[in-house]
Amino acid sequence: MATLSRTSSFKPLPSDSLPPWLSISQPLLQWWMEQSVKGVQPLMNVQLAWLESVSSAMQMEMEFCQAIAESHEKISHCLLIHQKSPKSTEKITDCYQQAMQDLSNAHLNRLKKVTELSHDFRSAIWEEI
């Protein structure tokens, strides 16, 4: 998963362009900005990891929906081709079993990917903590 840069890009303002009351507090402002960037960066990385995880999950679900559509297409194709033949029930049964086997394999693959996704997400969270 992608991580954001951890370096602070805060640069103090030039002292000559600041009013006197602000130029005195410049070191304090610089320290405050560095601390706020350090505190926000891990939260941004956690959110980025979560969004990447959600994106991967959505992609896996779309792949599974595609497998469902393909199995339905196979079954429909078998029903339309073999509807008039007297031995069609055996052929339809074979087509149906093949489509269900493909769908079962797609579901098992989906479960495997979900397990890996959960592990990757937990690893990314622990890196930030």
Q: Where are the domains of the chain?
A: 23-128
Q: What is the pLDDT of residues 34-58, one digit of tens each?
A: 766 666 677 777 788 888 888 888 9
Query: Dihedral sign, CA of 111, 116, 118, 119?
Result: positive
Q: What is the pLDDT of residues 60-100, one digit of tens each?
A: 999 999 999 999 998 888 888 766 666 667 878 888 899 99
Largest CA distance in the chain: 98
Helix, coil or strand: residue 8: coil
- Whole-number Å distance between alpha carbons of 28 and 23: 10
- Whole-number Å distance between alpha carbons of 85 and 91: 10
pTM: 0.59
